[in-house]
Amino acid sequence: MSERAFREILIFVIGTTPQIVTETLYALTEEISPPIFPDEIHLITTLHGKERLTAELIEKGRLEAFLKEYHLPSISPSKISIHVVRGGDGLPLQDIQDRSHNEALANFIVEFIREKTDDMGTRLHCSLAGGRKTMSFYLGSALQLFGRPWDRLYHVLVSPEFESHPEFFYKPKKNRRLACAGPDGKRTKTLQTKDARIYLAELPYLRLRGKITLEGKEFTELVMEGQREIDTALVQPTLRLNLHERTVGFGETILDLVPIQTVIYGYLLRQKLEACLFRDRPYCLDCTECFPTLADLSKRKAFEEMASDYRKIYGEFSGRVDEFQKHWEKKGGIDPETLRQNISKINGLLKEQIADERILPYVSISSVGKHGSKRYGIRAEKRKIVIESYGDKQHTG
């Protein structure tokens, strides 16, 4: 999509410095090439901030004066939106004063940016200048979560002596003199606007959109989801066990297993999905509490689950299934030595076929504990596990 095809949207988080709006507009239209003129302007602020913005930009005509002086199109009032953040009680926030206010602010900003980035015909120009530090942080974070490659993040920089001057809103075409007052209220010196400098710094940011799954609504929840995905996505590919095909796959690697290895591997994967003792934890990391011992794997309950998977490999009425059941049922389950041998063969195959040593620890069968009481399992994150049968996904973490 070409740059001209976008509808340009300018977004501010802003407190009590309305100058940031006209200074940023000046920089976008006069200091960069090609110039950018907004189709919409959105100002996210508090009730106190709205009062300052309305008084300075609208009632005193600062915004319109800038547009006229630089022969820019007038911006319709319907294209300028001031969004006042509301607290948990639904009332507009006068200021950001406590934790609940910060949470309300964060949730509003991320939801606003999520909504605006849903329209692929828009390009966002987000300004960090002018708000409290937390406001700027939340805006930058929201753009990291939902921003697209063409969205922009800026910080406007103004010469220090002009930065906080109440009468400086942009660099006028004709030089003007501005008086500076000292702490006692008396004039200390005169500034000349021809000396003012306004810089627009474009800030790079990490874009996570499309790379991680984000389903949450609140800011904290989104950050946790994002961190969980980052923790596992870079090293651990999705691990897929296809029972009907008797294959285990991760990334572009697909390995064939014999039936007994398939059902043993499948049983250990299901331990991660169905026997987790800490279901409230978003990811496993180094937890091995679901790992069974060989004695557990030899019990009738484990055998029955493996036999169920064996039927999915060959079909309900296959003679191979009857043969498998008759052979092991009389022993009460698959004996520890057979389990140990097949675990070793699975690991040998994985080690032989996997070139990336970072992946191997997550897909091979690990053992923990001392000799005689070792427990066995697969360290893959439960969210990265998919078990399929006849092409249909059965279980996923």
Domain final residue pick, 229, 253, 287: 229
**Do 10 and 78 belong together in one domain?**
yes
The predicted pLDDT at position 283 comes to 73
**Do 281 and 182 belong together in one domain?**
no
Mean pLDDT for each 10-residue chunk of the chain (397 residues)? Answer: 70 91 95 92 94 93 95 92 90 85 91 92 90 86 91 93 89 90 66 92 88 76 78 73 92 90 96 87 81 95 93 86 89 93 96 85 92 90 86 52
The predicted pLDDT at position 68 comes to 96
The predicted pLDDT at position 222 comes to 85
- Give the total number of structural domains in the chain: 2
**Do 177 and 262 belong together in one domain?**
no
Per-residue pLDDT tens for 125-147?
A: 999 887 678 889 999 999 999 99
User: Residue 69's domain spans which residues?
Assistant: 3-229
**Do 254 and 219 belong together in one domain?**
no
Contact residues for 217 (Cβ-Cβ < 8 A; gap 6+): 107, 111
Contact residues for 167 (Cβ-Cβ < 8 A; gap 6+): 178
**Do 279 and 387 belong together in one domain?**
yes
**Do 223 and 326 belong together in one domain?**
no
**Do 268 and 168 belong together in one domain?**
no
Per-residue pLDDT tens for 272-286?
A: 999 988 877 767 877
Report d(CA 190, CA 181) in Å as an integer: 9
Q: Name which of 350, 316, 340 is nearest 247 in CA terms.
A: 350
The predicted pLDDT at position 391 comes to 47
Report d(CA 118, CA 114) in Å as an integer: 6
Give me 77's structure tokens: 């009032």
H-assigned helices in the chain = 19-26, 47-53, 62-69, 99-117, 133-146, 160-163, 219-233, 259-274, 294-297, 300-314, 319-329, 336-353, 360-363
The predicted pLDDT at position 182 comes to 61
Phi and psi at 69, nearest 5°, equal -60, -35
Domain final residue pick, 177, 205, 229: 229
Report d(CA 10, CA 40) in Å as an integer: 6
The CATH number of the domain holding residue 27 is: 3.40.50.10770
The predicted pLDDT at position 197 comes to 94
Give me 11's structure tokens: 């977004």
> Which residue's structure tokens are 């999905």?
273
3-state secondary structure at position 97 = coil
The predicted pLDDT at position 2 comes to 39
Contact residues for 132 (Cβ-Cβ < 8 A; gap 6+): 15, 96
- What is the DSSP code (8-state) at residue 373? S
Report d(CA 338, CA 378) in Å as an integer: 18
**Do 329 and 210 belong together in one domain?**
no
**Do 282 and 181 belong together in one domain?**
no
**Do 195 and 284 belong together in one domain?**
no
Q: What is the DSSP string of 215-252?
A: ---SHHHHHHHHHHHHHHHTT-PPEEEETTTTEEEETT
Burial (CB count <10 Å: 0-12, 13-18, 19+), residue 160: exposed
For the entire predicted model, the pTM comes to: 0.62
The predicted pLDDT at position 57 comes to 93
**Do 58 and 173 belong together in one domain?**
yes
Domain final residue pick, 167, 202, 229: 229
Contact (CB, 8 A) for 257 and 247:
yes
H-assigned helices in 55-98 = 62-69
**Do 85 and 156 belong together in one domain?**
yes
